[in-house]
Structure 1
Amino acid sequence: MTIDTATAQRQVLDAADELFYERGVQAVGMDAIRTASGVSLKRLYQLFPSKDTLVEAYLDRRDALWKSMLAEHLDAATEPRDRLLAVFDFLHDWFLQRDYRGCAFINSFGELGTVSPRVAELALQHKEGFRQALTELSKDAGAPDPERLADHLILLSEGAITRSAISGSADPALRAREAAVLLLDATLPVRQRALDQTTADEP
């Protein structure tokens, strides 16, 4: 039975996502994607004319998934300061996932960044998107220099991502959150900190 295009694409991307993320992009060939997806090699190349296009689709999908998971945690927080700290709660939950292997963009850039301008571009776009999100959250929290605060927070986040991938522990997210609390205490206006404390003390 011939499967429709949307189903075939989903099967291929499901296989690519699992294999690329677990083993690395360079270690996985199109034959392995064919076997894991159940889509013939001919159909596979009709959907994705080259491995490069499949890698791009894989990273695009990872970007959308990552943003969705982050947004879910941000939406659960109401106060501006809590929304900044929710970023680290998201990281902790992400690190606890059984298949966590670090950041797909850092991993792919490490493998292909010097030989694939497109992979390098997608990695930069993903990280800049994260930085912009942190900048907006910092503005909402009343930071006097939201871009600088975002730069500090993204360094904490990226360090936690790498440390967790290497150590196999979710604890780096907790340590990064503790450091973020100290940073916010030193950075946010006193009025905002007092408002946050008042809200936290309410029954």
Structure 2
Amino acid sequence: MSRTRPGDAGAKVLKAASTLFYRDGIHAVGVDTVAAEAGVTKAALYGNFGSKSRLVVAYLRERDRQWQEEIDRITAAHTDPAERVLAVFDVYEAWLSRDGYRGCGFLNATSEFPDPADPVREVVRHHKTALHGYLLTQLHRSGANQAETLADELMLVLEGAAVTSVVTQASRPFHTAKRLAATLISPPAP
């Protein structure tokens, strides 16, 4: 094993944990495996994160940060708020197909941490609330009627497409969901 510079260990651990936790499941991966994959000692892992629980929270926060960057990158190409809402479906599709259709990492984590008071669940709530807030903001900007209800509905459509894409191992559910979303946000014909 090559010697790791002090500042590099945390980044290596987080990168390894992100891959392993998403691919294999959080509870299925031990800290020994993460440390070995990262090429660092367990002492370096604990020195940077303190515990596996804190590493899991860091993994989810980093995933959330990357997700927000992806949303910003893809939706920035659109000036119309309704188009930005629809572009979120493209982000989901790109994200989940790139990750091999293992599903939403946040929902996967929720299934492994059933206690609503667990810090993992707090990160998941933050992520989903931020996404809902983004949709709601864009819907308000577009002048949509009943924007709050519509944002709730779009979240259900997005999450349903994410789950269905895992089951089918295909992106088609996102195309269907995007068409449904376009219908929901289109103003009614006079």
Same fold (TM over 0.5): yes
User: How many residues of Structure 1 are paired with residues of Structure 2 in the alignment?
Assistant: 189
Residue 161 (structure 1) aligns with = 162
Helix, strand or coil for the counterpart of 2:21? helix
Contact 1:12 1:44 in 2 (8 A): yes
Residue 103 (structure 2) aligns with = 102
Query: Quick check: 1:90 aligned with 2:91?
Result: yes
CA distance in 1: counterparts of 2:111 and 2:99, whole angstroms: 22
Residue 23 (structure 1) aligns with = 24
Query: Greater CA radius of gyration, 1 or 2?
Result: 1
- The structure-2 alpha-carbon separation of the partners of 1:135 and 1:169, relative to structure 1 and needing over 3 Å to count, comes to same
Counterpart code for 1:136: T
Residue 42 (structure 2) aligns with = 41
CA distance in 2: counterparts of 1:30 and 1:69, whole angstroms: 29
Residue 51 (structure 2) aligns with = 50
Offset at residue 5 of structure 1 (A): 3.1
Helix, strand or coil for the counterpart of 1:26? coil
CA distance in 1: counterparts of 2:106 and 2:99, whole angstroms: 19
Q: TM-score, normalised by structure 1?
A: 0.87
Counting only pairs closer than 5 Å after superposition, residues 73-152 of structure 1 correspond to structure 2 as 73-114=74-115, 117-152=118-153
Residue 180 (structure 2) aligns with = 179
Offset at residue 135 of structure 1 (A): 0.3
CA distance in 2: counterparts of 1:90 and 1:156, whole angstroms: 14
Offset at residue 2 of structure 1 (A): 4.2
Contact 2:96 2:104 in 1 (8 A): no
Offset at residue 84 of structure 1 (A): 1.3
CA distance in 2: counterparts of 1:115 and 1:86, whole angstroms: 31
Q: Any unmatched runs of 5+ in structure 2? A: none
CA distance in 1: counterparts of 2:25 and 2:125, whole angstroms: 19
Q: Any unmatched runs of 5+ in structure 1? A: 191-203
- The structure-2 alpha-carbon separation of the partners of 1:49 and 1:95, relative to structure 1 and needing over 3 Å to count, comes to closer
RMSD over aligned Cα atoms: 1.8
Counterpart code for 2:105: A
Q: Could you list the per-position Cα deviations for residues 52-107 of structure 1 after superposition, in whole angstroms to 9, with x for gaps in the alignment? A: 01001000000001111111111011222211111112222223215341111100
Moved beyond 2 Å, runs of 4+:
1-6, 113-116
Q: TM-score, normalised by structure 2?
A: 0.93
Residue 9 (structure 1) aligns with = 10
Instruction: Provide the identity percentage.
Output: 35
